[in-house]
Amino acid sequence: MGIKEQLQELEDKISRGLEIAYEKMVQFKKEKNSPIIISENGKIIKINPKDLK
């Protein structure tokens, strides 16, 4: 396996890990009925997790 394939495999694993972490965070926020807080263009935004798919 070459370096390009190794890097692609690592990138795929990292992306999947981030997807799983996001799904778990949304599920946790739904269970606790807690808003998700994000920053968009320097503005703080609260999102109800039940509004997400």
**Whole domain around residue 46: which residue ranges?**
3-51
Give pLDDT tens digits for 1-53. Answer: 899 999 999 999 999 999 999 999 999 999 999 999 999 999 999 999 988 87
Based on the structure, what is the number of domains in the chain?
1
Quote the pTM value. 0.77
Q: Is 47 in a helix, a strand, or coil?
A: strand
Instruction: Mention every residue, 6+ apart, whose C-beta is less than 8 A from residue 26.
Output: 36, 49, 52
Return the pLDDT at 51.
87
